[in-house]
Amino acid sequence: MGNTSTIFALEVCYDINGDNMKQNKKVFLVALLIGFGVIYFYNSKFDTTIVTKALAPEATIIYVGAYNDLDKANLKKEEYPEAIIYNNENVYKVVIGLYSKKEVGDLIKGYFLDQNINFQETKIKVNNTLIKNIENYELLIKNSTTDYYTGLINSILNYFKAYLS
């Protein structure tokens, strides 16, 4: 039985003239080109929003309340003057922070916990421009003391406010 499989392998790998795998290489390259053509056609003709949404950048918002009524959200916002009201499908969230990197999120959350602020967080889809803008401030947060966090977080919220407009 071992000889049969060896003979079969030799027949597949060598052609009659003794050229090693020459025919198989041609078949492989043709199949590869056909595959690339099919992928190109599929990507250019069909909707790929599912893939785009899955790869969209995410940020995490930190909020102190979520309300179905805008007036209640505005009342809560009065406690946090720099907060932003984020409307997500008619649920108004009073946002006090935003981050894209986990290690910065841990620092910001620790800062809010030190101030005895109860908060929740959720991920949202954003664009690359917002991520690039807040990354500069996140770097500053990582390298500064908590004395500067309020100003840095407010700067991030200003970018988020401009993004929402």
Q: Give this prediction's pTM.
A: 0.64
The whole-angstrom separation of Cα 91 and Cα 38 is: 43
Q: Residue 37: pLDDT above 90? A: no
What single string gives the DSSP state of each residue in 82-99? Answer: T-EEEEETTEEEEEEEEE
| Distance of alpha carbon 46 from the chain centroid | 23
Q: Which amino acid is at 51?
A: V
Give the model confidence (pLDDT) of 46-77 as tens digits: 655 655 555 678 889 999 989 998 999 899 98
Q: What is the mean pLDDT of residues 141-159?
A: 89
- Is the CATH number 3.40.50.300 carried by domain 57-164? no
Sketch the domain layout of the chain as residue ranges. 2-46, 57-164
The whole-angstrom separation of Cα 133 and Cα 155 is: 10
